[in-house]
Structures are given as structure tokens and as C-alpha cells.
Structure 1
Amino acid sequence: MTTGVDYNTPMDDESTFTTGPHKTDMLVRAKGLQAEVEQFAQHLADVYEGYFQEFPKNMHLSLYHDVLSEIENLENDINSEDPMATHRISSSNLPYLHAVWNTAKNSKNIVKLRHPVFSGPFKHRILAPGVRIRDIISQGGSEPKRNQSSRSVRIDIICDGGLSWHKVSTITNRRLLFDMAKEAVYCGDSDDGESTDGVTQDFSDVPLVKVAKSLKRIAQGHRIRNLSPTPNLVLPRISEGEHVEIDKLLNFCRDMGVNILCSNATPPRLLLSQDLLHEMAPSPRRNITPELNIDASVLVALSSDISHSREEIQPWFGQSQKDHIELEKNSPITPQLCSLLGDRALVCTREAARSLVRIVHAMGTVTENSRAHVLLTPDDSITREERIETLRLLSIHCDKIPSCLQLPIRVVDFTPDLNEDSYAAHLSVPIWEKLEVLTQPNLFPTCKPARNGN
């Protein structure tokens, strides 16, 4: 049984950065990598400016700190007279970090870079970091606690809104053949020329296969939008089709359910541009329409004292009120809502407006009634600016209420067209059939409820 190998560091015999000019070139490329990651960081700061979620701005920090550390070490070793300096340069982690960044530039909707996730054992599936609700990123419950560092593994790129995990390895064909030959000796394989035709090879003890197997297991222990992330093993220095045995090992990993991406399938290195940055980390506001339909729950949140003041938990409060107050302490809703509403046109149905009026008249405080009046009442004697100023005076989050907020919210009448033909004509046949099954299950006797365990 072989021990694990860190494939994120190039082997000594593979290094090309040993002479003076190559050392300088390596430092230039490292500085270029630093500059691109900093450009990505600035892009994150721009697209998340004023947004209610702050932490996505920091999705690059782990990778960035690794790059800075390697550059510092490289600069020290280039100017060092220590005989071991050349060895340390040849063992630099920078080729691996370049590979991670190149993979990131070919990824879309990135959630995290070089992010640690819990590696098990799993009593149940853990919520993975990613987009749970449209364009809203959740950090999930996967990041290990301080005392669990030994039970974690870093995922190099979490992308596609959390649905794809990429782990990068800079192992070469040469190193992989060495590991496979070494493992064959440990497994007692015969070298007397006997044929192995018809015998299924087991690569389970090869270190790279162990990495793939671990990646698959950990991904299955997580969930995002009720799916396990798809594990991808990126091998930019492995060429498929050159060695039969390597191809067999790669297919062995694929049969486990891990996507393998070799240099043959790796897209060319991309130049960092604004268009590419917006693919890597799109604006969280990109899908918000110019006009927003505000439902009753949002109206209540915008009017509630809990959302606009520091409420103390009272003994007579129900559990839902207590939970709401605790949630508000950690994640205030008013700044979140206002950052999304911005200067967009706001409308609500008459039913939603009536629901708010009934609630505040029945159980609302004076301040809650005042907020509801500011939000909804079409009083021409009150200007939009005066409404905003009043709302600010009634809130501890006054600095988070934008001056461009479009008040009052316009109440519209909405009468749904109950004629089935009017909307059925706009649906494809498969979608229409699925809707029919959901809305009228009795018409489809073959659709039986699933039994427990099925």
C-alpha cells in the first residue's frame, strides 16, 4: 500500500525553473497571476457593491493568500545563497496555483476558490456552499470547525452555483506511471510475462485513484438544491491517448463517477477580460427585472417593528417571534430588501395590500401603521422624498434605506384569466402534461403515490 502523494507540487525531476533566467521568468509569471487574481477581486467588489451579501466578495482570498505566500518564498530564494534555495524553487507550488487559476477562468458562476469542506464521516448529507435561491449564495454548513482541520479537504473551484467541484492535480504522465509501477510491485503482480488478458485491473491503491475516490465520497456527502455536487478531477499535465495503462486508470476513475479532464480536453488559456470576469462571477442583480411585484410577506417585513428596531424577547412571545428576533440580530432584513429594491418600480396586488392593512389594523403598533401608510397610501400631498425620510426616521437602518426607493408602492388589480386555453397554448406538450399530472392527478390513474423507501 502506497502513501498519499501531494500532486499539487511538481516533482523535482519535472521542474524547469532551476537556472537564473528561468527563475526570473517564474517570478514574472507569478506576479502576473497575482495581478489577475487582484483584478478578479476588484470585479467582485464592484458587482457586490451595496448588495446585501458581503461574503461573496471574499471568495478568492484563500487562493490569493496562497499566491502571495509563494511569491514571497520565491523572491527570498532567488536572492538566497543557500544551496537548498534551488531545490525550494523547483518545488514551488506556483505551477499548481497557475493550473487552479486557469481552471477557474474556464469556470462559470464561481462560489468559492480553494475552499475547505468537511470530509466526513457523514451522518447525513451536509448543505454545500452554493446558490440555493436564485442568485443568492449560501455558505452552507460544510466548512470544518477549528478543531476539525484534519477532517477537511480543499476543493480548488466550486462553480456552476455550487453544482460542480473541481480539484486540480499537476501530476505528470511520468509520475503517474511511476506510481502505477510501484503499486504493481506492492500488489505482488507477476513480471514473468504471463498474460493478464481478461483480468480486470484494480487501480484502487494508486494515490491518484484514492484522490478521485475521496472526492466522489465527499461530494456525495453534500447537497445543494437537493443534488450532490459533480466531482471533477482536472489533470492539466496528463495527456490521454499516449499510454494504454494510464488511459485504463483514467477510465477506472470515470467509472467511479468522477469527471476526468486531461490536457487534451482542457480549453486554451483565456485572456482575462470584463466579459470573462462576468462569466466567472456574474452580478447577483443580473436577473432582477426593472419592475418588482412585492408580495404580502415582503410588505409585512418592510412594516414590522422587528425589522426596523431592536426588539427584546418577551416571555409571552411565540417561538416564531423569538426565532425572528434572533435571526434579525444576525441578519437584518431591511438592508437586504432595500439593496434589492433600489430604484426599481414597485407594485403589489390589491390582495397583498389588503392583507397588510388587515394585519397592521388588527395587531400592528403605531409605528407599524405609520410604515404601512408610507409604503402604500396614494397620498399626493406627500412627496416620495418625504416618504423616504419618514421611513428612515422610523428605522434603525436609516442609512441603508436608499434615496432612490420608489414609494409609494403602486397597487394594481390583477384578475387571472381562468380560461385554460389562454395559457395552455404557450406551453410545450411535455410541460403541459406534467402540469396536468400535478393539478389533476385523478385523471392519471397510473400515477401512484410513492411508497416509503422507493
Structure 2
Amino acid sequence: MREEEPNTSEPPAVSAEELVLRSRNLLGELEDLECFLASKNRRESELGSVELRQFKNSIIAESNSLQKSLRQLTGADLTSEKTVHTLRSSNLPFYEAVWAAAKRSTGLIAFNKRFYWDETADDIKAINTRISDRTPVKTRRRNVLVDIVTRGGLEWVKVSTITETRLLFDMAKAGWENGEDSDDVEPSVAGSGDELSLVKLARELSRAAQATRIHYRHPQIRFVLPKVALGIIPAIDSLIANIQATGAQVECGPSPTANCGTPAPALKDIAENLLVDPFADFSPTLNIDCTILLALVSDLSHGAVAPEPRFHHAIMRQIELEKQEKLLPDLLFPAMGARELVCTREAHRRMREIVELIGTRTEKGRTALLMGDDPGKPRDVLVREFRELSDHHVPEHWNLPVKVVESDVDARKTLPATAKIVAENLSEINRSVFLFGWASGQTTISSNRTVAKLIENLVEEHRKGDDEMGPSIWLCPTARSLVGKEKNRRSWGKG
């Protein structure tokens, strides 16, 4: 993490004892966050986990350093140059500012994370004007450090505790006159060696964001400058405008309208906001893939299944996974909620074929309820009878039955040209499921990671512009096959 350069031109405003206490309080809050996340049983493979280790270790090291300084400063002259430098050199205020910004965010993913992009030959030549156009230059890998990754990965936050005084000094050194950069400030062009560090950083973050996509979208960049105010010094306003010209948002303080100018909220009041909600962007109607239909009726999903010698190794693995995390109450029921559930006719047909061929009596019974074989049974009766075939609590609001719909080929005509390339690379059943969800704007729930990744790669490779999006797909991190009857069969339910 790039710490802020300390300002040692003024006497320390706090004592070593106070800094030590503040470092312990900060560590305590991070440990409280870890406990909160653990209580939510956040999976490492999901967006619910938060990368905390490196940030926490930096604070531990700073706290240890402060405690050592406290012992050394006992009885020392607190106004001496050495003492002033020691106290003002602490990185603790920067770490506190990062944590305060994180607590005002939502969907926390990580602290202190690097992102990469490839710098082209033209970019390198633009930075170093001494390089001739005829000089061959190899593309090089560049990276930039992001202090906080939030909104499920869609926002990068960069915090700087630089002061207005230091900014004005740096601007004068870089040759700014009347608040204007003497170099070319076009955001798409890399700056020179004496460019202001904040503007250069904004450009680097922009380049990295353009090389990164989360669900087909580029992350938004947000700068947090708690010690810089807007509307007071024109030169600083101009600097902020240069940062904003790269596409970044900028929060300044202290100001009545700036979040970073107010005290950070207590962790207990905002802890839930820090969790990523993986279902926030779900459509009101969910398109259920064949893999999920099978998981919803599998005996493996509804209670303890004793291993048998006849079981395929994939089923043995799923039995172990179910012991660690219950697929229905922990993942699928929360994902589906009370939303309407549909599946394409092709997905329904394939699911029925597998259930009829190898399904157990209870798996067939659940299938009849899930698909509403008896149209006279209302939803509450279907839920009640389904509950009788499960060891888990089946939510009252579960929207049974799953409705079978036609995968309207005509509707696909509204899709971008990329969809044709995607369709050519999918099997008939996957074409019906994923292109239907894409054309209808419905979120598709699937455990078919291979197909979902193929679709994402094809869309990214062949899309015509940044506004072109692929289908909304939620991948269930684990699958469940039917228990089945055959001894040496392969694992069914992979779609």
C-alpha cells in the first residue's frame, strides 16, 4: 500500500500514547469485521469474502512500530526535531482514512489490491518523447494499487491524505501556473515525469479499469481526499477537474456535502452494508438451467446420503460438499427468493429424461411438485408437500411451480450480432437456456461453469462496444447430481 508522505513541518498534534491507542482501536474494528464475516459463513469462492490480510498486517506493523517509539520517547523532549519527525511520520492516519472510506462503502471486496494493464508501444513513446517513432518498443505489463475494492468489484477507491499545502507545493514544482498544468493534460495521454502524482495516478487507474471488466462493465474509480476542500483555492479546484477528466469521481472534505468530511459510522451500524449482495441485480423472473432443476430434486440436496460402493466419485464429492454447506438453504433458496421461476422447454425435457431414467422414488416425487404436474395444486400445497420430502426448511414464499416456457427464436433477433457467434458454440439445450435468458433480460441460474465462461469470453472477444452486454448469469458454486440407480454410470446433470 502506498502510504502518504508525512508532513514534518509542524509540531505533532497527538502524542505517541494516543497513536498507539488509535492503532489498537483500528485493529479491533478489523477483527470485529472478520468475526462478522465468519458469522455469515462467507464462502472463499464467492464475493462475500473480503481480502483483509495485507491491510491488517500493515496496521499491525504500524502499531508495533508506534509502541516501540512510545518506549523510546518516554522522557524525551516532545518538541525536538527527532520526536516531531517520529510522530508525524506515522502512517496510521492514512490507514484510518482508508478504513473510514471503506465503512462508507457497500459490497466490500478487498483492500490493497493490484490491477494490471498492458502498456502499448505508443503509450511508452508518449511518456518518453526521446524515443523515436522508428524505435521498436516492447509492450510492458503495468500495475496500479487500489486501496479499496467495493460494490462487488465495480468500484475502486483510492485514498490520499495529502494536504492542500503539500498539493500547492507539488503543483508549483510541476510547473502549474494559475491552476493549469503546463504539460498536456488530455486524459488519454500519459503525463511526463514531473506530472502531479495524483493526476498520474488517476490516469493509471483509468487505464487499469479499461483493461478490467466485472460482469461486462468497467469499474468506476473514486478518489477520497479528506484533507482537501473544494471551492476555496482555484488552483486546487483545477487539479480536481483534471482528475475528474479521467472519468474518476472525487470526494473532498471537510465540506457539509462531502461524506469524507464527517465522522465514519460505527461498524455495528453498517456491517451489513459491507456484505456483497450477489442477488441485487437479479431479474424479477429467474431462468432456471437444467443443472439447477436437477439439483433442486436430488436426494443429495435434501438430507444425509450414506456413501455406497456403487456411487460415482463425483457423487461422493458432492456428499462431502453438502456436509460443509447445504446447497438449498445456504445458496439456492436465498438466490431464488420469492421470484417467479421459469425454464425453457428444452431444459425441462432434458431434466425429465434424466429423472425418469435414473431418479429415485423421492427424486421423482420432488420433480412432480417442482414442475407442477398436478395443475390443481396451489403454490402453498406444493411447498408443503415438497417440505415433506426434505430434511431442510422449504420457505413459504418459494414460488412453485417452475413454469415451462418456449425459447422464442424470434426474440433472439433483438440480440447483438455477438449472440450469433455464441449460439454457434453452444449445444442445443445450452443455446435454448442461455440465449432465452439473454433475449428476455432474465437472470439465468446455472452451475455450468464451463458454458458460462465460454459465453463471457466470446462476448468479450467479439463485442462491438463497451455498451454491449452479455447475458446475466448467476453461477451456483457447486452442483448436485441425482443419486441414481446404476453402479457404473457417469455423473448426470452437467447440462
TM over 0.5, yes or no?
A: yes
CA distance in 2 between counterparts of 1:199 and 1:288 reads 45
Structure 2 stretches of 5 or more lacking a match?
77-81, 122-140, 186-190, 370-384, 406-438, 441-461, 466-495
Asked if structure 2 preserves the Cα contact closer than 8 Å seen for 1:102 and 1:270, the reply is yes
**Which residue, out of 19, 22, 29, partners 1:36?**
29
**Which residue, out of 64, 70, 94, partners 1:78?**
70
Asked if structure 1 preserves the Cα contact closer than 8 Å seen for 2:213 and 2:219, the reply is yes
Give the corresponding residue for 2:157. 166
Asked if structure 2 preserves the Cα contact closer than 8 Å seen for 1:27 and 1:75, the reply is yes
Q: Please give the secondary structure, in 2, of the residue aligned with 1:11.
A: coil
State, as a whole percentage, how many aligned pairs show the same letter: 26
- Cα distance, 1:330 vs. partner? 13
CA 1:271–1:253 in structure 2 vs 1: closer, same or farther (change >3 Å)?
closer
CA distance in 1 between counterparts of 2:251 and 2:87 reads 27
Structure 1 stretches of 5 or more lacking a match?
124-149, 190-195, 314-324, 389-401, 417-437, 440-450
CA 1:410–1:207 in structure 2 vs 1: closer, same or farther (change >3 Å)?
closer
Give the corresponding residue for 2:294. 300
Give the corresponding residue for 2:38. 45
After superposition, give the CA deviation of every residue in 1:51-105 in whole Å (9 maximum; x if it has no partner).
Answer: 6856733433332222222111111221126996764442121111111011111
Give the corresponding residue for 1:65. 57
CA 1:58–1:229 in structure 2 vs 1: closer, same or farther (change >3 Å)?
closer
Asked if structure 2 preserves the Cα contact closer than 8 Å seen for 1:109 and 1:159, the reply is yes
After superposition, give the CA deviation of every residue in 1:28-67 in whole Å (9 maximum; x if it has no partner).
Answer: 2222222222222222222x32768567334333322222
Asked if structure 2 preserves the Cα contact closer than 8 Å seen for 1:303 and 1:369, the reply is no
TM-score computed with the length of structure 1 as normaliser = 0.60
Partner letter of residue 353 of structure 2?
Answer: R
- Cα distance, 1:312 vs. partner? 6.2
Give the corresponding residue for 1:178. 169
Asked if structure 2 preserves the Cα contact closer than 8 Å seen for 1:233 and 1:260, the reply is yes
CA distance in 1 between counterparts of 2:222 and 2:239 reads 15
Give the corresponding residue for 1:111. 109
Partner letter of residue 71 of structure 2?
Answer: N
CA distance in 2 between counterparts of 1:238 and 1:255 reads 18
Asked if structure 1 preserves the Cα contact closer than 8 Å seen for 2:198 and 2:243, the reply is no
CA 1:376–1:410 in structure 2 vs 1: closer, same or farther (change >3 Å)?
farther
Pairs aligned (count): 347
- Structure 1 residue 339 corresponds to structure 2 residue 330: yes
Asked if structure 2 preserves the Cα contact closer than 8 Å seen for 1:254 and 1:260, the reply is yes
CA distance in 1 between counterparts of 2:173 and 2:179 reads 22
Q: Please give the secondary structure, in 1, of the residue aligned with 2:236.
A: helix
Asked if structure 1 preserves the Cα contact closer than 8 Å seen for 2:106 and 2:151, the reply is yes
**Which residue, out of 9, 16, 22, partners 2:12?**
16
Q: Please give the secondary structure, in 2, of the residue aligned with 1:174.
A: helix
Give the corresponding residue for 2:393. 404
Partner letter of residue 280 of structure 1?
Answer: L
**Which residue, out of 205, 230, 235, partners 1:240?**
230
- Structure 1 residue 279 corresponds to structure 2 residue 273: yes
CA 1:337–1:404 in structure 2 vs 1: closer, same or farther (change >3 Å)?
closer
Give the corresponding residue for 1:206. 196
CA distance in 2 between counterparts of 1:266 and 1:346 reads 38
- Structure 1 residue 26 corresponds to structure 2 residue 24: no
Asked if structure 1 preserves the Cα contact closer than 8 Å seen for 2:100 and 2:264, the reply is yes
- Cα distance, 1:340 vs. partner? 2.0
CA distance in 1 between counterparts of 2:246 and 2:28 reads 38
Asked if structure 2 preserves the Cα contact closer than 8 Å seen for 1:114 and 1:155, the reply is yes
Asked if structure 2 preserves the Cα contact closer than 8 Å seen for 1:119 and 1:218, the reply is yes
CA distance in 1 between counterparts of 2:70 and 2:114 reads 31
Q: Which moved more, 1:165-174 or 1:112-121?
A: 112-121
CA distance in 1 between counterparts of 2:339 and 2:25 reads 45
